[in-house]
Chain A
C-alpha cells in the first residue's frame, strides 16, 4: 500500500479558499447565513486542531483510564448537545440522556471490540475512541430527530394520548404510537443512508481508512461492522432515551410535566 500524502499548512489554507463559492452565493442572494457558516468553520477547525493534539497524546499514552475518561467526556458532551438542540430542560433530561448513551456505548463496544474484532486490549485508543465517537456522533443526530418527534408529539397531540390513557388504562399502550413515530423518524434517515451506501455515497470511515493505507476489502469490512454498530447503538440509545426520560417527565396523573421544554410546554 502507498503511504498517504500529507497536506501541508499552505495547501490546507488553499483548501479553505473553496469556501469563497458558497459565501459569494449566499451574499448575492442576501441569505443571512454567512456569519454562522464562518463561525462554524472557525469552530470546527479549532475543535479539530485541539482534538488532534489531545488524540496524539491519548494515543501515545494508550491508557485504559485516560481513554475511558475521554469517552466519558464524549458521552457527556453528546447528551448535553442533544438536550440543547431539542430545547429540553436539563433538570429532567441530563440523567436519562447520559445513561442511554452510556449503556448503548457499553453494549456496542463490548460486543464489537470484545467479541467481533476480538482485540487483546479492548481499550486500545485506535479502536475504542473512534468507534465510540462514531456511535455517539451518529446517535446524537438520530436522537435529536427521534426525541423531538416524541416530545413535540406528546405535547401537541395530547388528545390522542389522553384518549388511549383512559380507554386502555395502560400508559405503555398510550405511549406506543408516540414511541413508534419517534423511532420511525429517528431511524428512517439511517435506513435510507444504508440502502444507498456504496452506490451514491462512499462512507467517511471507509474513505478515511483507504486514504490511511488500508486495503479496500479491510476498509469495507470495517465499514459494514461500524454501520451495524452505529445502527444498533442509535436504536438502543433512542429507545433508552425515551424509556428513561419517561420516568422523569410525567406527573402523578400521567400528564407531561410543565417546563420540560426550555421555553415552556405547549400542552
Chain B
C-alpha cells in the first residue's frame, strides 16, 4: 500500500530524519512513534504531498508520488489531523461539505461504535467536548470510501475508554489500511507494527 524509499527531510538545513525506508501492506495498522518535533506529522504530510522530502521516493498503491499523480494519490487517502478548526457548526454540515450524505448510515454506525448516538451529528461543535468533537470528525472521515487512512495523534483528546472504542473501530475496518502517528502507549500496543523515528 505504502512504500517509502530512503526518505530524508530537513527544515532550514536541520535534518529531521534521513534515509527512512519502510513498507506498509494493505489492511495493516501501523503507528509511527517519535518524540515531538521528530517528524511524525511531517511524514504523514509527505504522503499527501504537503511536505516535500529532500530526497527519496514514495509509492502509494504502486503510484509514485509527484506533481502529476498527486490528485490520484489523494483520492485514495482519508486525512484525520490532530486538530483542525473546521468552518462548520456541526457534523451534518461537515457531511454536506464533504459530499457524504449517501454514506450517512455507515457514519452513524461508526459513531455508535465510538459511543455516541447519531444526535451528535446535529449538535453544535461549540456545545460538545473536544473528545466528542474528535469522535464525530473521525466517524465522518471514516465514512469516506477510501482505502488508506492517515491519522495524526488520534488519541490526543480522548480518554482511555474512548481510545479503546476507536481501536475497536480501526481493528474492525479490515479493508482499510491505517497509518497513524501517536505516542500513546495503549494505541501503540494494539498496532500491528511500530515505526520508530529518530
* A binding-site residues for B, Cβ under 8 Å: 157, 159-160, 162-169, 173, 177, 180-181, 251-255
Contacts and interface: CB of A to CB of B under 8 A. Distances in A.
A90 B144 CA distance: 40
B79 A166 contact: yes
Contacts of A167: 78-79, 98, 141, 144
B97 A173 contact: yes
B133 to A, nearest CB: 14
A169 B71 contact: yes
Given A165-B74, A166-B78, A251-B67, 9 more contacts: A160-B85, A162-B48, A162-B81, A163-B81, A166-B77, A167-B79, A168-B98, A180-B87, A181-B87
Interface residues of B, number: 25
Closest 3 CB pairs of A and B: A252-B67, A166-B79, A177-B87
A255 B49 CA distance: 9
A157 B81 CA distance: 13
B99 interface: yes
Given A162-B50, A166-B48, A166-B74, A157 B85 contact: yes
Nearest to B52: A253
A162 B83 CA distance: 12
A163 B41 CA distance: 13
Contact of A162 (B52, B70, B79): B79
Contacts of B14: none
A160 B50 contact: no
Contacts, number: 54
B166 to A, nearest CB: 18
Interface of B: 45, 48-50, 52, 67-68, 70-71, 74-75, 77-79, 81, 83-87, 97-99, 141, 144
B146 to A, nearest CB: 9
Nearest to B83: A159
Nearest to B41: A159
B107 to A, nearest CB: 13
B142 to A, nearest CB: 11
Contact of B70 (A164, A168, A173, A253): A253
29 contacts: A159-B84, A160-B86, A162-B45, A162-B48, A162-B50, A163-B79, A163-B81, A163-B84, A163-B86, A164-B97, A165-B74, A166-B77, A166-B79, A167-B98, A167-B141, A167-B144, A168-B98, A168-B99, A169-B71, A173-B97, A177-B87, A252-B67, A252-B68, A252-B70, A253-B50, A253-B52, A254-B49, A255-B49, A255-B50
